[in-house]
Structure 1
Amino acid sequence: MKKYKYLTALFMGSMLALSVGITANANVKTYNQKGAALIGGTAKTFVNNKSYARIPNYSYGAGNDYYASHTYQTKPEFYQANGGNFRRNAKTKYFLPVTHKVSGDMSNPQSVAQTPDGHYAYVMYSAIDGGQSNIVRFDLNKLKALGVDTTHMDELRRGLNSNPQTQSAVKFGPKFNTGHAQSLAYNYKTGQLWFVRMAVATHKPTLVQVSRATLTPTKQIHFKFSSHYQINNELAFDKHGNVYTYVKYLGNKHSAGSIAIFKGTIKGNKVKFKAIKQGIKNGPGQHTQGMSYNPKSNRLYFISDGEITSVPVNKLGHLKNHDVRTTRFNTNREFEGLSFTNNGKGLILINRGAELLEIDNF
């Protein structure tokens, strides 16, 4: 739609010197870990929380006028909780670009990570059919100052295309093998960015560290997760630097499937995990779409389409039913990720078109 066509143009001028085909892997330190990373067995019991998932499968849709324009949305979305035991609402905060001269197709973002102060948001895009993609850093402070959100639409139509300040607010990283790119996560203790590179669930993934300055990989650890479990494309860190992932079992007509949670550490060039002995009987939604951590509430979040479940970290292994919070939103959009600042402000990443929705006290 014409209100947001300015986004494509204003993002084009910032990275003209970048080579589209760059692999960004020349200086990556690679380590091959021996033995299985999972050393702590399996989940034995499951907290019997209520299922709020929509069964049968989620019916995907798009935002206002997205299909008509094939570019940008122009009307903020408001998603009210219409299910679950923890009612919270989310509203569009930023419309994101869906195409760019250097990055190409940006309509398929897969994960988001924020700095704890809310200054930067890092959005990772999926490599399609074995190709390459990249990470884009958005300076949210600059975008807010320039009105590049959903609250100053009239101002944004007035010739910002050539504004160097606006162009400097967005940094496009070079292309590299991102895999499905669903797991970009911020380590709240070290300030590092990490993701798990894979195309589909696997016993043998690669854990990748990314430079926040260059938006390129700096280290990768090839490892075997477990003979019993295939790791999925989820990753989160808490404020102590512990790393988490989870797997979701297949659902049925009564439940979207149970969740097994794993807690681990990354020390030097090795990663280790142990299974939390208690899982969650009813996970959110049909498909896993990410994982997150809120440093204010000290909770872990399990993201699915239109539905998010969270649990307190300090009660992992001995959860009660009331500890498990689930919010089901009145939407059929595809959720792609969630990230939090130190004060608990959350951004939910969705596509069709790409945008960030703000949620608070979550």
Structure 2
Amino acid sequence: MVIKKKFKMMILSLALLLFVLMGVNANANVKTYHQKGYAMVGGYATHYVKNKNYAYIPLYDYGSSVGYYENRTYQTESFTMLGSRGNFHRNAISSYYLPVTYNWSGDLGNAQSVVISKSGQYAYIMYPGANTTIVRYDLWKLQSLGITTNNMAGLRLGVKRRDPQILSAIKFGPKFDAGHGQSLALNPKTNMLWYIKMDVVTNKPTLVEVSPNTLKPVKQIKFNFSRNYSINNELAIDKRGNFYTYVKYRMHGKSAGRVVIFKGQVKKNYVIFRAIRQGLENGPGFQTQGMGYNPVSNRLYLVSDGVISSIPVNRLSKLRPKDVRTTKFKTNLEFEGIAFNRAGLGYILTIRGTQLFTINNF
């Protein structure tokens, strides 16, 4: 009996190991392209727009959202995050308290990026440390089930109780290597998801294409970025299919840190980027946390903790100080990204606990 029990335990352990390995290698059969040479084919930043330094924020101690610990994560009320400083004041309202626990305690607590479908129906959230790397939330269906600002605890409670109606509005994708997971973005031209597989900074990233239906990788391109620049884990794609990323240098003295922006394209199976010759004298916040694009305003958004700056795409390389909008929020939440639907409604992702704020006319 003892031998039989040990044998069963061994089989169970092997099965569990196989499951884990299969999960980690969900992109093992994905077509991989190895790009020769450097992806950066032109230029470097030569000058910087002297935008005002509204966004000087030292590294702060991260806090939690109102009622998160007091209500044991099941918060019941929405609250407003005030845009208190900067040259573009806007407020954001907490609209969805996303699950923080599914398979084990806190496994969905470290969301790193957000994408909103063009229609606004779906929110795609990337969780690099979880057993499900991308989770798709059907916001329309959740609203029809009563998940609104009048029932803020309903989504987390529904997931905890395994409510079949709530779970029918959520698609859990497989586990795969997302790196830091901070750069999930939607290409509006193809309706495909993309992210940069890397840690925080590198010059040898991998660009990965993901199906919005299966939530699995379908293609990846490994490339060398540049001999002059490393790349941060940021990505946004405009309505014409142009890819953008940026690097922000650390604060120095009273400077908030300069920003260099890169514009590129994916052509079949290779990537090209060019540096925008004009950068920003003062980037937002202490460190980069994400990037977004609004198809209505045609602006790029640079996200840091507690502060977001935006710039118009059609004035890249010829920005004036007034073109750079900066909103500094009265908060100590850790920001993780921003995304917009085709109507221009914005969604800001923060953690502790994981939640989506909505913001209008941003």
Same fold, TM-score > 0.5, yes or no: yes
- CA–CA distance in structure 2, aligned partners of residues 124 and 64 of structure 1: 23
Residue type at the aligned position of 1:292: G
- CA–CA distance in structure 1, aligned partners of residues 299 and 123 of structure 2: 20
Aligned to 1:126: 128
Aligned to 1:247: 247
Distance 1:74 1:138, change over 3 A: same
- CA–CA distance in structure 1, aligned partners of residues 49 and 67 of structure 2: 41
Tell me the TM-score normalized by structure 2: 0.89
Residue in structure 1 matching 2:91, options 89, 92, 97? 89
Residue in structure 2 matching 1:48, options 47, 50, 73? 50
- CA–CA distance in structure 1, aligned partners of residues 22 and 103 of structure 2: 9
Where do 1:39-188 residues align within 5 Å? 39-68=41-70, 71-101=73-103, 105-127=107-129, 134-153=133-152, 161=161, 163-188=163-188
Residue type at the aligned position of 1:194: W
Distance 1:103 1:273, change over 3 A: farther
Question: How many residues are matched?
Answer: 343
Aligned to 1:7: none
Residue type at the aligned position of 1:142: K
- CA–CA distance in structure 2, aligned partners of residues 102 and 82 of structure 1: 37
Give the superposition deviation at 1:113: 0.3
Give the superposition deviation at 1:159: 7.8
Percent identity over the alignment? 56
Give the superposition deviation at 1:165: 2.6
Give the superposition deviation at 1:156: 7.4
Distance 1:153 1:355, change over 3 A: closer
Residue type at the aligned position of 1:27: N
2:232 alignment partner, SS class: coil
1:107 alignment partner, SS class: coil
Asked if the contact 1:73–1:353 (Cα under 8 Å) also holds between the matched residues in 2, the reply is no
Distance 1:135 1:164, change over 3 A: same
Distance 1:181 1:164, change over 3 A: same
Cα offsets for 1:244-297 (capped at 9, x unmatched): 000001112312201000000001100000011000100000010000000000
Residue type at the aligned position of 2:304: S
Aligned to 1:26: 28
Residue type at the aligned position of 1:256: A
Aligned to 1:36: 38
Distance 1:154 1:81, change over 3 A: closer
Asked if the contact 2:184–2:194 (Cα under 8 Å) also holds between the matched residues in 1, the reply is yes
Tell me the TM-score normalized by structure 1: 0.89
> Which runs of no fewer than 5 residues in structure 1 stay unpaired?
1-16
Residue type at the aligned position of 1:37: A
Give the superposition deviation at 1:213: 1.1
- CA–CA distance in structure 1, aligned partners of residues 266 and 157 of structure 2: 48
Distance 1:154 1:304, change over 3 A: closer
1:106 alignment partner, SS class: coil
Distance 1:225 1:167, change over 3 A: same
Asked if the contact 1:53–1:255 (Cα under 8 Å) also holds between the matched residues in 2, the reply is no
Aligned to 1:196: 196
Distance 1:154 1:329, change over 3 A: closer
Distance 1:60 1:191, change over 3 A: same
Asked if the contact 1:309–1:326 (Cα under 8 Å) also holds between the matched residues in 2, the reply is yes
1:256 alignment partner, SS class: coil
Aligned to 2:15: none
Q: CA RMSD in A?
A: 2.3
Where do 1:200-349 residues align within 5 Å? 200-349=200-349
Greater Cα offset, 53-62 or 205-214: 53-62
Give the superposition deviation at 1:147: 1.5
1:117 alignment partner, SS class: coil
Greater Cα offset, 146-155 or 316-325: 146-155
Distance 1:122 1:159, change over 3 A: closer
- CA–CA distance in structure 1, aligned partners of residues 59 and 106 of structure 2: 31
- CA–CA distance in structure 1, aligned partners of residues 162 and 145 of structure 2: 13
Distance 1:158 1:69, change over 3 A: closer
Asked if the contact 2:99–2:155 (Cα under 8 Å) also holds between the matched residues in 1, the reply is no
Give the superposition deviation at 1:73: 3.2
Larger Rg over CA atoms: 2
2:215 alignment partner, SS class: coil
> Which runs of no fewer than 5 residues in structure 2 stay unpaired?
1-18
Give the superposition deviation at 1:158: 9.6
Aligned to 2:8: none
